[in-house]
Amino acid sequence: MRRLAVAGILWCLGLVLGAGPAGAEEAPVGAPTTIEQQLEATLETGFAQSNGIGFSVSVLLPGQPMWTGVRGVSHQAAPITPTSVFAAGSITKTFTALTILRLAEEGRLGLDDPLRSWFPPYPHVDPDITIRQLLNHTSGLSDFTDVPGWMAPLLIEPDRHWDMEEYFLATIREPYFEKGTAWSYSTSGYILLRMLVEQATASTVAAQYHKYVIDPLGLHDTYVCPDDPLPETTAHGWLDLTGDGVYDDTGNLPRTSFCSATGGQVFSTTADLATLANALMHDRSFLGDAAYAEMTDFHLPTGHDEPLVQGYGLGLMWFNPAFMSGQRVSGHGGNAPGYAAGMLYLADYGAVISVMDNTERGDAMGILDEIIRVVVAHLEGR
pLDDT digits (tens, 9 = 90+) for 290-344: 999 999 999 888 766 678 899 999 999 999 999 899 999 999 999 999 999 999 9
Residue 3: inside a domain, yes or no?
no
pLDDT surpasses 80 at 175: yes
pLDDT band at 32 (very low <50, low <70, confident <90, very high): confident
Secondary structure of residue 335 in the 3-state scheme: strand
Share of the chain above pLDDT 70, in %: 91
Q: Rounded distance, CA 51 to CA 128, Å? A: 46
The per-residue pLDDT for range 217-252, each reduced to its tens digit, is 999 999 999 999 999 999 999 999 888 999 999 999
Give residue 300's pLDDT.
Answer: 83
Peptide bond into 321 cis (omega under 30): no
Residue 76: inside a domain, yes or no?
yes
Q: Rounded distance, CA 341 to CA 90, Å? A: 8
Residue 173: inside a domain, yes or no?
yes
What residues make up the domain containing 131? Answer: 10-19+35-379
With b for 16 or more beta-carbon neighbours within 10 A and e for fewer, the 339-351 pattern comes to bbbbbbbbbebbb
Helix/strand number for the chain, H first, E second: 13, 13
Give residue 303's pLDDT.
Answer: 67
Residue 26: inside a domain, yes or no?
no
What's the CATH code of the domain at 369? 3.40.710.10
Nearest to 86 by CA among 257, 340, 316: 340
Q: Calculate mean pLDDT across residues 119-126.
A: 98
- Domain count within the chain: 1
Flag the least confident range among 112-121, 141-150, 197-206, 359-368: 359-368
pLDDT band at 6 (very low <50, low <70, confident <90, very high): very low
185 neighbors 317 (Cβ within 8 angstroms): no
Tell me whether strands 317-319 and 309-312 are parallel, antiparallel or unpaired: antiparallel
Residue 25: inside a domain, yes or no?
no
Q: Rounded distance, CA 267 to CA 254, Å? A: 14
CA separation, residue 187 to residues 89, 99, 142, 278, 331 (Å): 11, 16, 8, 25, 17
| pTM of the predicted model as reported, rounded to 2 decimal places | 0.93
Residue 44: inside a domain, yes or no?
yes
Q: Calculate mean pLDDT across residues 154-177.
A: 95
Q: Which residue has the higher pLDDT, 22 or 214?
A: 214
Q: Calculate mean pLDDT across residues 46-63.
A: 95
Any residues with CB less than 8 A from the CB of 37 and at least 6 apart, and which?
A: none
Residue 5: inside a domain, yes or no?
no
Residue 197: inside a domain, yes or no?
yes
Give residue 30's pLDDT.
Answer: 61
pLDDT band at 17 (very low <50, low <70, confident <90, very high): very low
pLDDT band at 7 (very low <50, low <70, confident <90, very high): very low
**If you average pLDDT over every residue of the chain, what do you get?**
91
